[in-house]
Amino acid sequence: MDDLPEIDASAAVAAVEQGAVLIDVREQGEWDAGHAPSAILLPLSEIGNRLDELPDGEVLVICHSGMRSARVTAALLELGREAVNVAGGMVAWQAAGGPVVTADAR
């Protein structure tokens, strides 16, 4: 996965603000604790059965720290999809000032 397309969190925040699609592959409990407002939840444990829910075009993939999202990004690329891993995941997203909401706040 050394040549995996990656975007740093600051650039990801800016890209999402400009309309990029962000796919969050964490599980429901992690999502409920805090997620990017416009992210789409497709947990790693379910994504194989929900690929048809992915929008066309490039997607940014995020998890907690970047490991699961790297796996999903690699798998999507193998399937011929356009995917970019968000380096550092939600930890880096928050550190870069990315907005976060909780399930209760929605």
Q: Is 63 a catalytic residue?
A: yes
Q: Which of 63, 84, 90, 92 is catalytic?
A: 63
Give strand pairing partners of 6.
Answer: 85
Kind and range of the H or E run holding 86 = strand 83-86
Kind and range of the H or E run holding 44 = helix 44-47
Give one DSSP letter per residue of 46-78, joined into a string.
HHTT-GGGSPSS-EEEE-SSSHHHHHHHHHHHH
Residues marked as catalytic = 63
